[in-house]
Amino acid sequence: MYCKDYYFVGVRNTKYGDVANKMSETRYLRVNPSCPESYLIAQGAEVIKKGGLVAFPTETVYGLGADGLNMDAVLKIFQVKGRPRGNPLTLHVASLDQARKLVSSWPPTAELLAKKFLPGPLTLILPRSEGIPDLVTAGLPNIGLRYPSNRIALELIKASGVPLAAPSANISGCPSPTGAQHVLADLEGKIDLILDGGPTEVGMESTIISLAGERPLLLRPGGVTKEEIEEALKEEIAVANSVLHPDKASGEEESRCQGVNNKQYAPRAQVIMVTGSPGEQVTKVKNFLAANRGRKIGVLATSEHFPIYESFSVSPVYLTALGSRTSPEEIASRLFSAFRECDQAGAEMVLVETVAPTGMGLAVMNRLCRAAEQHQI
């Protein structure tokens, strides 16, 4: 049984319209995030066991889950998302014991990071074991493993009895979903079930670190920061070229893990990064709005500058404060939903203030570089 009333509260007034006639295609269940109802989780597990697709919350973004050991089920993920098959998937597990069974080696570095950060927003890249479909790893010798902390995710994995292949539950290239309504907007009628556990906490995908080489390599910044990993390992870690320069990937694993040939995380509107000092950013936004009078431009501002932009004589079609410049975690949690809101407002272009690429700010800048395809003022 699904929650019709809850479904309509979130969707009826969006640009995606009233889709009640499609409810029979994608079931929608609201689940208590702090104490998931076992009978609802069981319905999700039953879909997984039958080779179907279930969208579910993690602490980072919503994932699109399938039996990670069932090649036919995994294939559906690529088809539904429009995801290139050369882009490998991550397997989600509910314990470290389950993770160790999926790899051919578990080095001391993996053990140290696992004990420090897992369950949590960190993906470890390790040499794969036999039995994992090539489709999951895109033919690469390594596998990404993720042990989420979200209770709904953990209960679903346990009840399913298999590791779940689960990329973000959106159309490839679009902003990742941080709420169940985002999943519904992208995938309604295309998947079997959505488990709504409310908004995600981190709001940005997990950190990906490869432990398959001679030294740890940060492939994607996320909920666990580079600085936190270095503190745990007591050493400086390498950062992939593509983290802030998507067009400069080196090595097959980096290229294919990052998907650098495709624009990622972007709304339909053109994203433009606003660089420079805080004062310079304000001036650039003001001048850009004045020079593009009459065009539909959205502005994603830091909290410090939001009141200034409200007073401009040329108003943006959409304006919101992502969070304080001193709190990139807050900005990260709002970025993807703000991208979607800009599309709903009909924005043609979106100006986004940049932040320092340190701490969680590195993850924010990584997503902005990918969404903007390096367009900046």
Annotated binding residues, written as ranges, equal: 60, 83, 87, 92, 146, 166, 168, 176, 206, 220, 265
What 234-243 contacts at long range (C-beta under 8 Å, 24+ apart), as own/partner pairs, is 237/209, 243/218, 243/219, 243/362, 243/366
3-state secondary structure of 193: strand
End-to-end CA distance of the chain: 50
Instruction: Pick out the residues of the known binding site for L-threonine.
Output: 60, 92, 146, 166, 206
8 A C-beta contact, residue 76 and residue 53 = yes
Residue 343 phi/psi, 5-degree rounding, is -65, -40
Give the DSSP letter of residue 168.
Answer: B
8 A C-beta contact, residue 363 and residue 244 = no
Residues 212, 204: Cα–Cα separation, whole Å: 24
3-state secondary structure of 125: strand
Longest dimension (CA), the chain: 63
Task: Scan for tokens 């670190």, then name that residue.
Answer: 209
8 A C-beta contact, residue 117 and residue 232 = yes
- Distance (Å) of CA 164 to CA 50, 53, 74, 84, 117: 13, 10, 9, 19, 20
Give the DSSP letter of residue 45.
Answer: H
Residues 6+ apart with CB under 8 A from 121: 58, 59, 60, 148, 149, 202, 205, 206, 207, 222, 223, 224
Residues 50, 323: Cα–Cα separation, whole Å: 42
* ∠ Cα 181 365 139 (to 5°): 75
Beta pairing partners, 301: 321
Instruction: Pick out the residues of the known binding site for ATP.
Output: 83, 87, 168, 176, 220, 265
Candidates 130, 172, 168; CA nearest to 146 is: 168
8 A C-beta contact, residue 278 and residue 264 = no
